[in-house]
Structure 1
């Protein structure tokens, strides 16, 4: 289901008790459309994510570690000026619409008490976060400033009077009395009645219609609405395996239950974790992915061109033959001839046509063919080397793309640093202080035997994990001939089950994560070496064993411990 008005009503039942009367201690904007507000309450820090993302606008309390940018955007600076240190007095939903107002109490520069409203409008591409003064009703600032030419309905700029967006009129189902229900029901059927209720998306409306078709009564209607006053949630799947989240368990939709959670906020945070991670990674890695795409295109074209050159060089024997035959028959070549047909003693004396340069003597024409032959033969070694270098670079960018695909937002900075060190991106004039790689940066897993498995998320982490962190007797894993993470099983001895579970983790954190029967090599870490001058993440190894596995997301991620 979508983040509709009734879902927001349910979510607030979980969120309100946790943050109301909390003091707002930190505000930052990790990504273009996302804000994180940190509240201090009962000696605990609670992070509230507000997102005006056009595809999935949302809010919920999150435990995700989201990096704070070095430079705060203008809107965040305004929020810090007006809201930092204020107390959240109330959270109000506007009826059952997709507008949530966070009411703060604070003191201005003169020490006077002021009431400020941070309004979150969850309306698809029109989603926004707006700070305004409750008393005057004037906008102080907003996340998305809208040019008047783009929105003629209301003015969305600082100092303008705050006005509500156009709202669809309808009935608030929580306020309908039995008398009102009966009056409406007389003149409508279940479909018409459900269409008059506000705050329902298509799935909720279909489920309500199902309830009313089973029993078109006030009791049935109240039973349906009562489900939105609970605090739990259910994750369900469509026949096409699309995941949906509901604050109740629907019976009239073609959905299969995947899981249940007593806390709707917790369920929602987990539901969006993967999608939001992907979105944040995409935003942070946009420059890198453009670079990879361009380099990949250039290298692919270069390899095709070099392979054509190699093919021509390896098939250059014909030039030598033409030179020899011409040399053996110089007397048959007359001045002014553009070509000559001579018997080819390499092919049963069949006629061979040889093109000639009229400006050169017969002997010089023959020498020209020998020179061309020698040049092509001499180029084979060089062209092969160039193909190998280009292919290595292609594999390198493949490994960087795989790291991005498996990355979390905070990992992109290290990937950027790696590309700067390799000369693919310009270094800033004021370089940031390098953050040392530690075990905290890695993905960490605990397999069934209790042993720990460490996984690098990018090439810099892979090198650090394999060459510095790992004990030489630990077991090193990597997918065979495919870009992927370096994986260390922290043990010198491993059972078949240990190897199988660790290999599945290695396969999942590779380019082959969605494939079946992925071949994974494993060997003691002391047998893994890095050649001099090799790119980050590239190693060689000997004496390995191999195992075929099929990585399964749920099974792999259930072992994660950080």
Structure 2
């Protein structure tokens, strides 16, 4: 289900009472298409997320802590100038379209009262957030400035007159009278549904189902009145795609997953994973590019080194050719470039030996022995280089796993780590690294009530394992695969505790989508960090192992922060 007009109508039932009369105290733009507006009302803060993301434009109240960028974009500076400290007077929707207007009252530099409108247009790739003066109707600024050549329907630039986008307004179902319904009832249910505004395809199909069951005004109003309630139902399609509705559909091929009496609360959970992935992707673009480049370079280097090792370990042919050549020097004539001689290591079958015409027969033999010795002597060095390269590749795999499991605010720590390791150039005015606390970690509660802590990057892993954990706590990590350090805070866990904690460890690893994942566990006192080791790298002894298959919903249902 998309963020259609009727869905917005339902959501406003939940959002409006929490915001009306609140004073706008803080505005920031954590990501390119997303705004956070913090309202102060009745001694409580309410955070409103406005997103003009082309794939999933949306708005809802959120409690998620999202870091405020050090440098505010131009649009945020304008919003702060005109709206910070203003009072939200009302919120209204344009008919049943995907446009929501937030009406503010504030005073300008002269002390005169001004009325301002922040218009949120949730229209796919045309989504936008526009601030305009209600009295003059002129745009003050907007999130996405559009060149007139790109949009000839209206001008979307500062100082232009604000106009609504081209709309195809259907009938407002909430205002449809029984008499008007009877006039339309000559239409088929399909054609009737097309006359009603604010419906996406799923809503339209559901309405058609209602009318096919009972083509009456009562049936129609039963369907429409569902949008006057602010509740939520999450359902799955046959291919496991999740959809959220403000009502429980009966005529669609969907399976109910969960329900929630509060639509806003359900929306936060519904979009949280996808929004985090999108925000992390935006914030980690530079870091992820560095990681991928290093992974490619190291993978190519390892392949090349293995070829060198294979050549070195199969270098006996050079020694054999040197010996056979020395044993048959008399048969080698000046100027020869190759010769076939009997190989006494292979029943005297002929072996072809390449020669350098500029060298004497003896010097040609010595050349083969020199090549053989050089290759044999290189074996130890090549093996060491392979181990170093593989360790570095494992390290960058651990960084990529940390990015995959990161919250937006965790990317700063990952960037800081790569900077300290010399992979990112240090900025002259780089922020001082924030101290890691338990608040930074993922926290879970097992069925027994015991607590499990999970590091989300290498710095957090080191802090959790080496500083936070008690020596008698149980330490868990997937076997030989990059992943988070996991601490079960109990010195005598049950088998069930270990199995649940191991599933969490498997989920927060590179093997999160795999079955039959081996997880090592041992008391924290047996985990050590070698001198000079990279962040996140530890060694341990005396461990036991357990095999688990991580299941996303089961793991995340235990999360408590």
The TM-score normalised by the length of structure 2 is 0.99
Instruction: Give, in angstroms, the shift of residue 449 of structure 1.
Output: 2.3
Q: Distance in 2 between matches of 1:304 and 1:554?
A: 39
Tell me the residue number matched to 2:120.
Answer: 120
| Stretches of structure 1 lacking an aligned partner (at least 5 in a row) | none
Tell me the residue number matched to 2:205.
Answer: 206
Match of 1:294, SS state, is helix
Is residue 2:23 matched to residue 1:30?
no
Q: Distance in 1 between matches of 2:163 and 2:204?
A: 29
Query: Can you list the C-alpha shifts for 1:480-530, whole angstroms capped at 9, x where unaligned?
Result: 011110001112211111111111111111111122211100011111111
Match of 1:453, SS state, is strand
Tell me the residue number matched to 2:252.
Answer: 253
Q: Distance in 2 between matches of 1:385 and 1:514?
A: 32
Query: Can you list the C-alpha shifts for 1:282-328, whole angstroms capped at 9, x where unaligned?
Result: 11111111112211111111111111111111111110111111111
Query: Can you list the C-alpha shifts for 1:199-224, whole angstroms capped at 9, x where unaligned?
Result: 00000000111111111111111111
Q: Are the aligned partners of 2:229 and 2:246 in contact in 1 as well (CA < 8 Å)? A: yes
Q: Distance in 1 between matches of 2:423 and 2:76?
A: 32
Q: Are the aligned partners of 2:469 and 2:487 in contact in 1 as well (CA < 8 Å)? A: yes
Match of 1:159, SS state, is coil
Q: Distance in 2 between matches of 1:307 and 1:314?
A: 10
Is residue 2:180 matched to residue 1:175?
no
The aligned runs of 1:189-204 (5 Å cut-off) are 189-204=188-203
Tell me the residue number matched to 1:97.
Answer: 97
Instruction: Give, in angstroms, the shift of residue 342 of structure 1.
Output: 1.6
Tell me the residue number matched to 2:519.
Answer: 520
Q: Distance in 2 between matches of 1:394 and 1:338?
A: 44
Q: Distance in 2 between matches of 1:148 and 1:433?
A: 44
Match of 1:174, SS state, is helix
Tell me the residue number matched to 2:52.
Answer: 52
Is residue 2:434 matched to residue 1:453?
no
The aligned runs of 1:1-150 (5 Å cut-off) are 1-150=1-150
Instruction: Give, in angstroms, the shift of residue 450 of structure 1.
Output: 2.2
Is residue 2:293 matched to residue 1:310?
no
Question: Structure 1 stretch 38-47 or stretch 344-353: which is displaced more?
Answer: 344-353
Question: Structure 1 stretch 118-127 or stretch 544-553: which is displaced more?
Answer: 544-553
Is residue 2:414 matched to residue 1:378?
no
What is the number of equivalent residue pairs in this alignment? 561
The aligned runs of 1:468-507 (5 Å cut-off) are 468-507=467-506
Tell me the residue number matched to 1:350.
Answer: 349
The aligned runs of 1:158-557 (5 Å cut-off) are 158-186=158-186, 188-557=187-556
Instruction: Give, in angstroms, the shift of residue 169 of structure 1.
Output: 3.0
Q: Are the aligned partners of 2:75 and 2:143 in contact in 1 as well (CA < 8 Å)? A: yes
Q: Are the aligned partners of 2:97 and 2:169 in contact in 1 as well (CA < 8 Å)? A: no
Match of 2:417, SS state, is helix
Instruction: Give, in angstroms, the shift of residue 391 of structure 1.
Output: 1.0
Match of 1:13, SS state, is helix
Instruction: Give, in angstroms, the shift of residue 396 of structure 1.
Output: 0.9
Q: Distance in 1 between matches of 2:360 and 2:154?
A: 86
Instruction: Give, in angstroms, the shift of residue 258 of structure 1.
Output: 1.1
Match of 2:351, SS state, is strand
Instruction: Give, in angstroms, the shift of residue 372 of structure 1.
Output: 0.7
Q: Distance in 2 between matches of 1:233 and 1:559?
A: 21
Q: Distance in 1 between matches of 2:534 and 2:431?
A: 22
Q: Distance in 1 between matches of 2:349 and 2:263?
A: 86
Match of 1:117, SS state, is strand
Instruction: Give, in angstroms, the shift of residue 448 of structure 1.
Output: 2.2
Tell me the residue number matched to 2:156.
Answer: 156
Instruction: Give, in angstroms, the shift of residue 546 of structure 1.
Output: 0.4
Q: Distance in 1 between matches of 2:488 and 2:445?
A: 10
> Which runs of 4 or more aligned residues in structure 1 lie more than 6 Å from their structure 2 counterparts after TM superposition?
none
